[in-house]
Amino acid sequence: MALERGKLSNIVVVSAGSTVGIITVSASKKVYVKSIIAHASDPTGVASATAQVYFIPNGGSVGQNTRLFDIDITTGETVLIEPSYPLVLDTTGDSIHVGAGTSTVNFLITGDKEV
């Protein structure tokens, strides 16, 4: 099993009130999420943001039952979410979605994926 190491996504900008799919497993190739970086970037002067991370199994949907993280971030602050063990997506269609509640949040995900 060969792994490609590094970033799993480019920076994804999520607008307030939106949720975006950021990684989806294709062809049963495992994906190991090691860290999620979230930056509250809203330039409009909003004091804080909320950010969410969802682990969606194949056929599932974004919701309270698939939410892993729900964090508050002060505008201009960057938060590193780093589980003690990587999140493993191993079934075609499994995905990670990210959301922004109150203002714009930038996300970047790092880890490894099978090639």
Burial category of 61 from C-beta neighbours within 10 Å (exposed 0-12, middle 13-18, buried 19 and up): exposed
Global pTM reads 0.91
User: For each of the chain's 115 residues, which pLDDT tens digit applies?
Assistant: 677 777 888 999 999 999 999 999 988 889 999 999 999 987 667 778 899 999 999 989 999 999 999 999 998 899 999 999 999 999 999 999 999 998 899 999 999 998 8
* 38-71 pLDDT, tens digit each: 999 876 677 788 999 999 999 899 999 999 999 9
φ and ψ of 47, to 5 deg: -70, -30
DSSP letters spanning 12-65: EEE-TTEEEEEEE--TT--EEEEEEEEEE--TT--SEEEEEEEEE-TT--SSGG
Q: Which two tokens mark 33?
A: 């999420």
Domain ranges of the chain: 3-114
Q: Which pLDDT score is estimated for 28?
A: 80
| 64 φ, ψ (degrees, to nearest 5) | -60, -35
CATH no., domain 3-114: 2.60.120.1330
State the pLDDT at residue 52. Answer: 97
**Structure confidence at residue 1 (pLDDT):** 64
Question: What is the rounded CA–CA span in Å between residue 28 and residue 60?
Answer: 16
Give the 3-state secondary structure of residue 86: coil
First to last CA, the chain: 8
